[in-house]
């Protein structure tokens, strides 16, 4: 087996849950799925598709909701648009529109009601080939940069088996916002064994400051655990509860402690930061934005900007 065969064997299917209500982003998400909100010009769903391609996957199982058909539409070829761009010599725009067309197969899986992330993941079982013993989950509202995290997670699974999750270290006082891991050292740098998981604990009860983020390399055994997982917080089936069940039953779970950048696109504050970060790194928009930001922050420091924008609240 060549090394690229081994990579493909390790990861073929990426499940992309995109059926949530996006309530933190209302009213925008009343009509626009949050997965289509652009980070500069590229929607989150396309950034995830590119990450999946880079990780060697050959298809995406996109969990969609009845009212969010635009998410799948992003992967459709628009021949009329492409022909118009071509005839007008808009090569750069054409390149962007063709972005992920044909590079990866996107399979829609409908989740009729938003019954939770665990429920969304459970719907992907039929998309997996019979010989696939693991699959990835990438949340499109979570950017984990630079790309390459899933490949590192696949290496950990090769060595330890079981399930591998991605974690970030956050300041202790912020843990109440996240799923928090109870861990012990594995003897390897950036890898820890997981003994348990707690969803959004009080700061004083948190077992560590390693928190879950939106990248999972799940053993197929998770489907059986999800079938036995009762609805938890908010009446939803939580993936953390299924993983906790697997840990209790002796299934090996490890985390990769990622040291790069993470942007939470699921809330307006995190989304704005991601846009600024990407725009600052962009050759076209970066230099002008940097100058404007420096000036804008200086105005605040000088307290010379006394009035707001006059927008009604």
| Contacts with ligand UTP, residue ranges (CB under 6 A) | 17-24, 63, 111, 114-117, 119-120, 139-141, 266
Nearer to ligand UTP, 20 or 43 (CB): 20
| CB 35 to ligand UTP: min, Å | 7
CB of 13 to ligand UTP, least distance (A): 16
Tell me how far, at minimum, the Cβ of 232 lies from ligand UTP, in Å.
Answer: 13
CB nearer to ligand UTP: pick between 15 and 134: 15
Pick the closer one to ligand UTP by CB: 192 or 244.
244
- Nearer to ligand UTP by Cβ, of 119 and 262: the residue is 119
User: Closest separation between CB of residue 91 and ligand UTP, Å?
Assistant: 33
Choose between 75 and 85: whose C-beta lies nearer to ligand UTP.
75
Q: Which token pair is 100? A: 């992920």
Q: Which of 117, 246 has the CB closer to ligand UTP?
A: 117
3-state SS string over the chain?
Answer: CCHHHHHHHHCCEEEEECCCCCHHHCCHHHCCCHHHCEECCEEHHHHHHHHHHHCCCCEEEEEECCCCCHHHHCCCCCHHHHHHHHHCCCHHHHHHHHCCCCCCEEEEEECCCCCCHHHHHHCCHHHCCCCCCEEEEECCCEEEECCCHHHHHHHHHHHHCCEEEEEEECCHHHHHHCEEEEEEECCCCCEEEEEEEEECCCHHHCCCCEEEEEEEEEECHHHHHHHCCCCCHHHCCCHHHHHHHHHHCCCCEEEEECCCEEEECCCHHHHHHHHHHHHHCCCCCHHHHHHHHHHHHHHHHHCCCCCCCCCCC
State the nearest-atom distance from the C-beta of 23 to ligand UTP, in Å. Answer: 3
Q: Give the relative orientation of helices 286-302 and 268-280 as an angle to the nearest 10 degrees.
A: 120
Which residue is at the shortest CB distance from ligand UTP? 20
Rounded to a whole number of angstroms, the minimum distance from the CB of residue 311 to ligand UTP is 22
Shortest Å distance, C-beta 80 to ligand UTP: 30
Nearer to ligand UTP, 199 or 277 (CB): 199
């Amino acid at each position: 087996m060549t090394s690229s065969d081994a990579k493909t064997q390790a990861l073929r299917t990426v499940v992309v849950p995109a059926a949530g209500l996006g309530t933190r982003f209302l009213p925008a998400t009343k009509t626009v799925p949050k997965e289509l909100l652009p980070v500069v010009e590229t929607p989150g769903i396309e950034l995830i598709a590119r990450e999946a391609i880079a990780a060697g996957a050959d298809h995406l199982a996109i969990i969609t909701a009845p009212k969010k058909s635009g998410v799948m539409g992003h992967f459709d070829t628009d021949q009329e648009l492409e022909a118009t761009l071509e005839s007008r010599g808009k090569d750069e725009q054409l390149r962007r529109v063709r972005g992920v067309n044909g590079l990866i197969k996107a399979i829609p899986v409908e989740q009729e009601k938003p019954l939770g992330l665990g429920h969304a993941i459970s719907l992907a079982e039929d998309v997996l080939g019979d010989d696939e013993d693991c699959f990835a989950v990438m949340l499109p509202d979570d950017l984990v940069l630079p790309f390459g995290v899933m490949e590192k997670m696949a290496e950990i699974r090769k060595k330890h088996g079981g399930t591998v999750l991605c974690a970030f270290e956050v300041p202790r006082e912020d843990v109440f916002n996240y799923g928090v891991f109870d861990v012990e050292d594995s003897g390897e740098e950036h890898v820890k064994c997981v003994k348990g998981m707690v969803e959004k604990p009080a700061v004083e009860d948190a077992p560590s400051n390693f928190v879950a983020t939106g990248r999972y390399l799940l053993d197929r055994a998770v489907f059986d655990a999800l079938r036995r997982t009762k609805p938890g917080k908010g009446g939803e089936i939580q993936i953390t509860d299924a993983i906790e069940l697997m840990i209790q039953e002796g299934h090996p779970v490890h985390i990769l402690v990622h040291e790069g950048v993470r942007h939470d696109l699921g809330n307006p504050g995190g989304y704005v930061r991601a846009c600024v970060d990407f725009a600052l790194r962009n050759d076209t928009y970066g230099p002008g934005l940097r100058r404007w930001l420096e000036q804008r922050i200086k105005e605040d420091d000088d307290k010379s900007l006394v009035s707001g924008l006059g927008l009604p609240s």
